[in-house]
Amino acid sequence: MKKYFTDLKNDMVILYKGSKLIELFLGKWYLLLNCLVCTLRYVSPYITIYCTSLVITSLTKNAPFREILKYIIIATVSTFVIDIIIRTVNRSCLIMLNNSWYSHSALLSKKALSLDYAKAESASVQMLRGKIEECVNNGNGLSWLATCLSEMIACIFSAVIAVFMISDMVISKAPLTQSGILKIVNSPFLAAGLVIFTIAAIFISVKCHGLSEKKLFHIFNNASVFNTVAEYYNKKYLNENESGKDVRIFDEKPLIDEELEEKIYKPHRRMRKDALKVFSTIGSVSNVSANVLGGMVYVFVGLKALSGAFGAGKVVEYYGAITKLISACSDFAGNIGYLRANSVQLKQEIEYLDLVSDMKNGTKTIDDLDIDNIEFEFHNVSFRYPDTEPLVLRNLSLRIRSRERLAVVGMNGSGKSTMIKLLCRLYDPTDGYITVNGIDIREFDYTEYLRLFAIVFQDFKLLAFPIGENIACDENYSEEKVWNCLEMSGIKDRVKELPKQLQQSVYKLYEKDGIDLSGGEEQKIAIARALYKDAPFVILDEPTAALDPIAESEIYSRFNDIVRNKTAVYISHRLSSCRFCSRIAVFDNGTIIQEGTHDELLADQNGKYHILWNAQAQYYTKE
Amino acid sequence: MIVTNKKYGYFSNLSFMAKHHWHGHKNYIFIQLFLAPLGALTSVVAAFLPKIVLDCVENSVPPLSLLTKVTSLALLLCICEYLRNFLSVKSHHERNNARCIIFHKLICEKTMGMDYNNYIYNETRVLREKAWNAINSWEGSASRYLELNFSFISSFFGFSAFTAIIVECNPWFIPILVVCYGISALGWLLLQKYKDSVKDKFSAVHLKLGYVTFRSKDFANAKDIRVYNMTDFLMRKIEKHLKEMQGFYTKKNNGHYINVLIEDFFKFSVSLGAYIYLVHLKLNSSMTLGDFSLYFGAITGFGAYLARLVDSVAEIIESDHNVNDLRNFLNIPDNMNKSVGKPLPDRNTKVEIELKNLSFTYDGADSPSVDNLSLKINGGERIAIVGVNGAGKSTLVKLICGLFIPQSGQILINGTDSALFNRDEYYTLFSTLFQDCALLPASIAKNICLCEEEKIDRKRLYDCMHLAGIKEKVESLPDKENSLLVREVHDGATALSGGELQRLLLARALYKDAPIIILDEPTAALDPIAENEMYLKYSALTENKTAIYISHRLSSTRFCDRIILLDNAKIIESGTHEELLALGGKYAEMFRTQSKYYRQEEAV
């Protein structure tokens, strides 16, 4: 019982938060208008029922045509007017609903864009988002909350009217003493019995709805797991060019068929089967009980009318009112069920929207720094990726001096790229801290802080938008500046040749006239993007991996122009790049084992650098 | 690419859908067969129930007779309702299975099975998006096609039953009703026409919106988005597309609104007219109260059925168009040879490749990417292809392994034109490692072996992982080779670094063990020591195979028998490392450029 009340309380909290969200997304009037539509929808049949009853009563009494006509016109005209009101108000509601759907999807995207990097990666966050999307696509969530509330209010109205209409039936007495069946019909016990049965039918229907909604929620709640997989296949693996090649050459079809079967179809089938069980058993029980009750009411009302308790007109009225009462009650129950199931979904949504950043976000801006003179320092930094065991960085201490060119080399997995991720605060260190000019980087506002960096990541991604937008990361850009950057990264001529030049989209995922670029060309565009940003600190992680020797050499020889008076970190497996860096840091197993200039390091015959260098240089030193 | 926008015939679509449902869930069809008459029966019984009660009351029949009559009819209604409810639930269930499994599978299979050079076009993606929308839309979805047809039949049954009742009252009602609902049908058709006219635009916007939304939450893009502060930029795109979508919906919504108003008006006029007429009749004839209620019920019921007929016709049309969309995607014609091809060369022999006057130009490109190129690669020969970015290396490789069809020229495999082989069998000749790749959200083992769980050869898997230098990494994972990849899909999945990813791809190519091996920049992300190991192992890795190696690292070319220098879509130099250096051409220049940084004596 206690649990029941805490549940109720939690639901109330969600309800409250939800109604605030309704106001935010759907507007102040939505709930009210929706209530109006629902109530009218529930109430309008009573007019028809009541008037039909009046018409039939008048007919049995042979009333004049004029009088009957009055009822007919009242019934039809009011129904028509109500219909028009319903349609019109409903149209406004639909527009509001649609708008909310859009602002809602926009909000979800915005949330995704602003999540902590570590959170953006987490499958559970992705899944939470998946659940919300699923719930919105099924029409659940916020709008559903509004619908449920409105329907519940309408149901109450409907039930009150119905009870009012039938209240005189139970107590109505036949004029003469009767015998046989008719006597039984008029006995108060039978009337009481019918009332009890009605209540029982309502109870059954309420219970069934509650139960089925609860079960269904649990059943459908798991859908997001396979929806995430399905989305990965639909939007990515079975959509993109790179995977398309592998799918064909490696004949991945049987494997993918198996994966789809195991990870999507099987759980889907299981889910549907469970849902079917609920629908067909619980749904049938309430359906049958309502129909049995309907039949009994007809018999009872018919017999009572036969005994002369009331006229034929009332038969129609009572029957209509009782069936409406039952449906109002069961709808009410259903809505409570929906509401409770929905509140769990709403909770997920509120949880997602409330996902707070785990990262400390300071208030300092980069204006607080001397931009011409910035110096980063790692203080005993250790790091492991979230949810994983091994330390990727161990006790790393490193100082990056202002305007220096630092080359970072080392074996695969030695922590070079991870160091960059920590530097630009995609993750915070597990241990230790990083400072810029002596200030802990966590004291800066994050967006502000990122203004310090222009980075070409090893696994950078271009978007399928026009080249100009890709470089400026904005629709509005200075064409001249973009061309300059393209020239510096060595791809200006190629872009000049394109029919739409800077307006040419890359890839065919967004625009149909998009062009596919080679790996080297993509890399040059990524470099141009970093140049365009013109930030004081440049980080290049394997920027020439896909470039041909000539282009690579051009980047090398232009390196000083590219970096100019900035600080630069250059990560590469091509050790030739170390030649134009002022200092080299050799990473091994998450920490720095050597530091110095190329000549110093090479002189150390036993050092790692010596081995690395020779492994590569041996092929180039002799012709 | 030919964009197919074909209209299929009604019966053709019907048999198409029936075939797929029959194939997947036979029950679905049987359920529909029962549901159609059941629906009509239920509403007729429901219309008769009040008539019987009223007749009994008016004629003051003995109570027992009322009791039996009404009870039996109510019981019948109860059974009908129960069956109808049960069957519709079942039908809903089967339809959802069809939507999410049968048709999902069809689309996925087509996507995987189509020619690569159809697959890569945006037009194909729009067609696929339309196919997705066709089966997943709420109204008139293709997956409801059969159901809608049956519901039309059901409405027709109900319609006929009520027609029979009305004819007895006054046959003139029928033409009046038909005209009224005919007019409203026209409105729905117009709306449908609008929906059709914007469908292409709608799908294109939907695709764009989907792209930006997915990218904005895709982890692969997350770093760039944050560092380049693209949030507002992407949000503006998303909002723009959302607005466009909203425009479509608002128009549809308005059309809908007008149509329902028209329908309401007719409903109002018909019920008003029917009411007055029936009251008049009742007052001036011997019609019973029961008949009065029956006729009135029949006229409104008839109207409701007419409206449903109109609705279901509109829905069938919409659904029919959706089926067209689905089939248009599924029927994108393939140009490559999918029939029985020539027998492949024996897997254990060395395969010779000869290119004869090969040319290839990308759609919409001005200049060819491969221009009248001829080259003979002997069986077991190791070829290195070098050249500047955009010289056509990757395109050439894609042509050789049968992803693209050359516009002219031939590729001969042991003297047989590659076009004569079966497309998919031909792919078995190649092991490839491309620069760009995507990972399957599955185990490492599956990502390497690329076959079903039970077919995985664990020993070979470990051998290949060892050769590719990723065995230690995999063994260090708690779940070893069964560790899952892709963190956005699996919580706690393994994240691979660039170098590890490349090793995994190499292991994948080795596992396949095909007679021709193509490696495109396999060492780009490897550290110098791993790179050197790769060179040293290269001859062992390519033992008895014909090998093509693309690299910008000219050190690698030493281990190849012959170097081909591509420039501007043509071969300009060919020979061994020493020969080409001696030639003093472009290769020598490239080598000097790359090596100068490694020479101690040269100042930089």
Interface contact B467, partner A, CB < 8 A: no
pLDDT of res. A175: 64
Note the pLDDT of residue B359: 92
pLDDT at B581 over 80: yes
Can you tell me the mean pLDDT for B568-581?
88
Nearest to A298 among B74, B220, B491 (CB): B74
Question: Using an 8 Å Cβ cutoff, are B547 and B517 in contact?
Answer: yes
What are the tokens at B291?
A: 């008949």
- The residue that leads in pLDDT, A352 or A502, is A502
User: Among partner residues A239, A451, A494, which is closest to B390 by beta-carbon distance?
Assistant: A494
Domain end point (choices A337, A353, A369): A353
One domain, residues A555 and A505: no
| Residue in the structure block whose two tokens are 């095909």 | B514
Chain A positions touching B100 (Cβ under 8 A) are 264-265, 268
A540 and A530 in a single domain? The answer is: no
Decide if B139 contacts B315 (C-beta within 8 A). Answer: yes
B260–chain A Cβ distance below 8 A for any pair: yes
Cβ(A612)–Cβ(A409) under 8 Å? Answer: yes
Are A281 and A347 in a shared domain? yes
Q: Higher pLDDT residue, A370 or B33?
A: B33
B108 pLDDT tier (thresholds 50, 70, 90): very high
Query: CB-hemisphere CA count at 13 Å for A250?
Result: 32
Q: Does B119 touch chain A (CB under 8 A)?
A: yes
pLDDT in tens, A437-448: 888 888 888 888
Kindly state whether B172 is in contact with chain A, defined as any CB-CB distance less than 8 angstroms: no
Positive or negative, the CA dihedral A107, A109, A113, A115 is: positive
Is any Cβ of chain A less than 8 angstroms from the Cβ of B262?
A: no
3-state secondary structure A279-323: HHHHHHHHHHHHHHHHHHHHHHHHHHHHCCCCCHHHHHHHHHHHH
A369 and A463 share one domain: no
Enumerate residues 530 to 589 of chain A having a beta carbon within 8 A of any beta carbon in chain B.
533, 542, 545-553, 556, 573-577, 579-580
More confident residue, A133 or B523: B523
Task: Give whichever of A551-565, B11-25, B49-63 has the largest mean pLDDT.
Answer: B11-25
CA distance B372 to chain A (A): 21
For residues A601 and A491, state if they share a domain: no
Tell me which amino acid residue B80 is. Answer: C
CATH classification of the domain holding A68: 1.20.1560.10
* Mean pLDDT to the nearest integer, B430-453: 87
The pTM of the full predicted model, rounded to 2 decimals, is 0.82
Co-location of A14 and A135 in the same domain: yes
Chain A residue whose CA is closest to B218: A120
Cα-flanking dihedrals φ and ψ of residue A302, to 5°?
Answer: -60, -45
Q: Is A237 on the interface with B (CB under 8 A)?
A: yes
Look at residue A27 and tell me whether its pLDDT is greater than 80: no
| Residue at which a domain ends, from A353, A370, A389 | A353
CATH number, domain containing residue A559: 3.40.50.300
Nearest neighbour of A123 by CB, restricted to B53, B254, B488: B488
**pLDDT higher than 60, residue B3:** no
Mean pLDDT (whole number) for A500-527? 83
Same domain, A380 and A324: no
CA angle A328–A331–A332, rounded 5-degree value = 85
- Both A440 and A466 in one domain: the answer is no
Q: Are B212 and A110 in contact (CB under 8 A)?
A: no
Query: B336-351+378-406+419-429+514-604 in CATH: which number?
Result: 3.40.50.300
pLDDT of res. B242: 84
Q: What proportion of chain A, given as a percentage, has pLDDT over 70?
A: 95
Q: For residue B344, what are its two tokens?
A: 């492949």
Note the helical H segments in A307-371.
312-353
What CATH superfamily is the domain B10-330?
ABC transporter type 1, transmembrane domain (1.20.1560.10)
- Compute the average pLDDT of residues A123-127: 73
Cβ–Cβ of A59/B292 closer than 8 Å? yes
| Residues B341-352, mean pLDDT to the nearest whole number | 83
Nearest alpha-carbon partner for B100 in B130, B133, B135, B60: B135
pLDDT at B603 over 50: no
User: Using 50, 70 and 90 to split pLDDT, how confident is the model at B602?
Assistant: very low
Cα distances from B526 to residues A98, A578, B476, B540, in angstroms, run: 51, 16, 19, 19
Tell me whether residue A500 is in a domain.
yes
Average pLDDT, stretch B457-471? 89
Beta bridge partners of B377: B353
Q: Hey, how many other C-beta atoms are within 10 angstroms of the C-beta on A506?
A: 23
* Residue of chain A nearest B455, judged by CA positions: A255
> What is the reported pLDDT for B2?
54
pLDDT at position A182 is 67
B273 pLDDT above the threshold of 70: yes
Pair A402, A530 in one domain: no
Check pLDDT > 70 for residue A4.
no
Residue A85: both structure tokens together: 């009101």
Banded model confidence at residue B526, pLDDT cuts 50, 70, 90: confident
Q: Is residue A623 part of a domain?
A: no
Distance from CA of B515 to the nearest CA of A (A): 13
Mean pLDDT for A116-138 is 73
For residue B35, pLDDT beyond 60: yes
**What's the confidence (pLDDT) of residue B600?**
62
Show which of residues 375-414 on chain A sit within 8 Å of chain B, judged by CB atoms: 385, 387-390, 410-414
Comparing A182-186, B190-194, B369-373, which segment has the lowest mean pLDDT? Answer: A182-186
How far apart, in whole angstroms, are the C-alpha atoms of residue A321 and residue B446?
64
- Domain with A522, as residue range(s), is 459-534
Query: Could you tell me if A404 and A476 lie in one domain?
Result: no
Percent of chain B with pLDDT over 70: 99
Residues of A numbered 433-452 whose beta carbons fall under 8 angstroms of chain B's beta carbons: which are they?
447, 450-451
Out of A112, A252, A302, closest to residue B66 by CB = A302
> What integer is the mean pLDDT of A392-416?
86
> φ, ψ for residue B354 (rounded to 5)?
-130, 130
| Residue B479 confidence (pLDDT) | 85
What are residue A348's DSSP bridge partners? Answer: none
Contact A413, B499 (CB under 8 A): yes
- pLDDT for B548 equals 92
Q: Using a CB–CB cutoff of 8 Å, tell me whether A315 touches chain B.
A: yes
Residues A325, A337, single domain; the answer is yes
CA pair distance A89, A38, nearest whole angstrom: 10
Per the rule left: phi > 0, alpha: psi between -120 and 50, beta: everything else, A372 is: alpha
Q: What is the pLDDT of residue A81?
A: 92
- State residue A623's pLDDT score: 52
A574 within a domain of the structure (yes/no) = yes
Flag if A521 and B390 touch (Cβ within 8 Å). Answer: yes
Structural domain tally of chain A?
3
Alpha carbon A397 to its chain centroid, in Å, reads 40
pLDDT of residue B253: 85
Higher-pLDDT residue of B197 and A155 is: A155
**Domains of chain B, residue spans:** 10-330, 336-351+378-406+419-429+514-604, 440-501
Q: Is A206 within 8 Å of chain B by CB?
A: no
Any chain A CB within 8 A of the CB of B521? Answer: yes
Residues A162 and A234 in one domain: yes
